[in-house]
Amino acid sequence: MKVQKDDFDGSLIVSQSPVSAASSMKEAWHTLGFEWVQKFPDVVFIEVGVSGITNVVGVAFNVDGEIIENVKQASSLTKYGDWSTRRLVIPIKDFSKIAAGKDVKMKVMQIDTYSVSSFGSANSGAIVNSKFPPFIEKLKELNAWPSK
């Protein structure tokens, strides 16, 4: 996790680079990163990735049976490389549900297809599980984490 100030306006940025969001080798190999920006305190920007060169058009989450589909695109295009990634934006309250989920399925949509990976406390193999707590703690320090 990294905390920095925006060079343009001095606002605070808390970010976690994308890491594996798949709990096993049987699943699609996805990455998930996230960023909170002081200028936009009610949302979290997420960066979703898939291995290879493909268009990432969207993402949805199934958090312990609750479907979260209100994830809007925050970038015009997919970034290509070894990983194809897309920046999206989600309300912080929905992000808090994802971060606290026991069994989270992440559906990454590409053109005419999708793939699914899982993380959360019931899915121990996903690296992203260990990245939520320090991010949340920092937002709590900044009084930016939603109260229940």
pTM above 0.85, yes or no: yes
Find, among 27, 17, 5, the residue nearest to 104 by Cα: 27
pLDDT surpasses 80 at 21: yes
Per-residue pLDDT tens digits for 55-110: 999 999 999 999 999 899 999 999 998 899 999 999 999 999 999 999 999 999 99
The residue whose two tokens read 């109260």 is 147
* CA angle (26, 28, 33) in 5-degree steps: 125
The dihedrals phi and psi of 7, each to the nearest 5 degrees, come to -65, -25
In whole angstroms, what is the distance from residue 145 CA to residue 92 CA? 8
pLDDT at 70 (0 to 100): 83
pLDDT in tens, 107-127: 999 999 999 999 999 998 999
Instruction: Measure the CA dihedral 119/123/128/130, to 10°.
Output: 140
**Long-range own/partner contacts, residues 126-129 (CB < 8 A, 24 or more apart):** 126/20, 126/21, 126/22, 126/23, 127/19, 127/20, 127/21, 128/19, 128/20, 128/21, 128/32
DSSP 43: E
